[in-house]
Amino acid sequence: MAFDLAQYMKDRAALVERTLERQVPSRNGRAARLSEAMRYSLLAGGKRLRPILAIAACEAVGGAAENCLNFACALEMIHTYSLIHDDLPCMDDDDLRRGRPTNHKVYGEAVAVLAGDALLTDAFRIAAEPSRAGVSPELALHVVAELAEAAGSVGMVAGQVIDLEGEGRAFTREELEDLHNRKTGALFVAAVGGGARLGGASHQQLEALRAYARPLGLAFQVADDLLDVEAATDHVGKRTHKDADRGKATYPTIMGIEGSHAFARELVRRAQAALEPFDERAEPLRALAAYAVERKQ
Amino acid sequence: MAFDLAQYMKDRAALVERTLERQVPSRNGRAARLSEAMRYSLLAGGKRLRPILAIAACEAVGGAAENCLNFACALEMIHTYSLIHDDLPCMDDDDLRRGRPTNHKVYGEAVAVLAGDALLTDAFRIAAEPSRAGVSPELALHVVAELAEAAGSVGMVAGQVIDLEGEGRAFTREELEDLHNRKTGALFVAAVGGGARLGGASHQQLEALRAYARPLGLAFQVADDLLDVEAATDHVGKRTHKDADRGKATYPTIMGIEGSHAFARELVRRAQAALEPFDERAEPLRALAAYAVERKQ
């Protein structure tokens, strides 16, 4: 029977949702608005791709999803904080995200900044809480450090600065790749690497899974650029054609639309090739690679 | 010979500066502006009170400063991120901090938000890197989780939300205390508790040191409120009288100036009483408690 990715994603996303609900509860009292703003963006029905990648990597090496659920939630919280801050008026100034008004449109800029700060900070509390007994503290500490490195000043935040400062300027293909390796790729690699570590990966397995995650992160971004050009807002749930409006460098502007599709397929092929040493337990990772470029939102 | 706090603070601050210089290096390349903005606020000559408290707690239980230097730096980075974000136009909208233009005045709002994000994220990378062999990963992981809890949605960020939403509204004394316990106190307690843990504190010592840190954090805030009323901007290095301008609840408005001074002294007495079981190695902590309310900036 063919592997059913849609069902797999639905099942794993449900595990993630339940853990997020528990880890980021609704609170009463004077800071109620903070938890409301955090949950507004966190529980807005995203694809949960980063947590699912972490779980799939954990399972590919024989671990159980439960070994990495807290880590998986931390990934989604970091991803969500970055979206809230990126949407701010002083950044990309977006009004729409996942088909709903952006956080600052609903809660105001101050609370949106703070909701992002709190999601980022709480992510490290949750990542530092081993999901189950049996994960060694040494391993958990290592995963926390790698997660922070991927999200921080040499990873995701650096990518956002390069993106902002590069608006209206031409990028070479190498510069664009560096930008996306930081802005998207680093967290993909941390997701797959952390999930694999928490699942008990050997050194060799870890290297192979990182070689899977690197092209996957880039493929995901190329597909994002293509969606921005090709799709309509009501389908994607956020404003489209905004890259061109803002003079942002994208793969379609550098390689053309057909060239970008071909490049994305080549990246998926490379990602899947890195999985050759793995058995059928890596089937979800293989299918996720194809999904990254075939998705419609 | 009487204990020389000024010399102690100078020596320990120098250790912290050196570690910060190494951990948050100046970077070239396209994200150079990010590291420049981070360093602008981080290396602006703050008092380094939180890191010094962590080191003093570590030393009070017989540990060496080197056991907690990374943790101490993480505290200062989290404190600095919170100042950068608090100064933003959408928050307190301040132009001056430590005698210099605020981060967003120099680098623009977008980079200021991102510099704060990067300092916060990198803090967890650094805290998760044990300062020296011999600190158990289990202990380090626990300290990271406590730090994130103190800084996150039930601690510092919640305090900032309550502060913002409370502007122009009357606070009871209990509400004000809750606000400051979150906004300032939680990180003080994490600093002292984390330093003590990394220094090898027993459970009993840890409890005593927390009983020291709680009133100390509040005393520090009462003193801050008094400085805002009594001092001139050129001395404090940030705008003064801004609490009253903004209709913020403060101790002087609730208890009067004399009443606030007396309350601060009482809190210092309580903090120092908690140190009774400790020997002369707790002398820096005793002196730091007095300093918290006697300082002129």
- Residues B118-161 have pLDDT tens digits of 999 999 999 998 666 678 899 999 999 999 999 999 999 999 99
A203 in contact with chain B, both atoms CB, cutoff 8 A: no
Q: For the segment A144-175, what is each residue's pLDDT rounded down to a tens digit? A: 999 999 999 999 999 999 999 887 788 899 99
- CB–CB contact A118 B88 (8 Å): no
Cα separation of the two ends of chain A: 27
Q: Determine what percent of chain B is predicted with pLDDT higher than 70.
A: 94
- CB–CB contact A34 B161 (8 Å): yes
Band the pLDDT of B184: cuts 50, 70, 90: very high
* Whole-structure pTM value: 0.96
Q: In chain A, which ranges are continuous DSSP H helix?
A: 5-23, 32-42, 49-60, 69-86, 103-107, 109-127, 137-151, 156-165, 173-180, 186-198, 203-230, 233-236, 242-245, 251-273, 283-294
Nearest to B148 among A128, A137, A140 (CB): A128
- Name the average pLDDT for chain B: 93
Band the pLDDT of B168: cuts 50, 70, 90: confident
Q: Which tokens hold the place of A127?
A: 């990542």
Which residue has 């880890």 as its token pair? A23
- CB–CB contact B30 A166 (8 Å): yes
Structure confidence at residue B232 (pLDDT): 60
Structure confidence at residue A248 (pLDDT): 81
Band the pLDDT of A131: cuts 50, 70, 90: low
Per domain, the residue ranges of chain A are 5-294
Query: If you average pLDDT over each of A224-233, B227-236, B276-285, which comes out highest?
Result: B276-285
Q: Residue A81: its chain B contacts at CB < 8 A?
A: 117
Q: Determine what percent of chain A is predicted with pLDDT higher than 90.
A: 82
Give the CA distances from residue B131 to residues A257, B16, B60, B66, B187, in Å, rounded to whole numbers and listed in that order.
49, 12, 18, 7, 20
Tell me the CATH class for B5-24+32-294.
mainly alpha
A5-294 topology per CATH: Farnesyl Diphosphate Synthase (1.10.600)
Q: For the segment B277-291, what is each residue's pLDDT rounded down to a tens digit? A: 999 999 999 999 999
Model ipTM value: 0.95
- CB–CB contact B85 A111 (8 Å): no
Q: For the segment A229-260, what is each residue's pLDDT rounded down to a tens digit? A: 887 655 656 666 677 677 788 999 999 999 99
- Name the average pLDDT for chain A: 93
Question: Three-state SS for B272?
Answer: helix
Band the pLDDT of B240: cuts 50, 70, 90: low
Structure confidence at residue A98 (pLDDT): 86
Structure confidence at residue A168 (pLDDT): 78
Report the residue of A144, A162, A175, A178 to disrupt the B interface, i.e. the one with the largest count of B CBs within 10 Å: A144
- CB–CB contact B165 A91 (8 Å): no
A36 in contact with chain B, both atoms CB, cutoff 8 A: no
Cβ neighbours around B173 below 10 Å, total = 12
Structure confidence at residue A62 (pLDDT): 97
Which residues of chain A from 84 to 113 reach within 8 Å of chain B, CB to CB? 85, 88, 90-91, 108-111, 113
Helix (H) or strand (E) holding B255: helix B251-273
Which residues of chain B from 4 to 23 reach within 8 Å of chain A, CB to CB? none
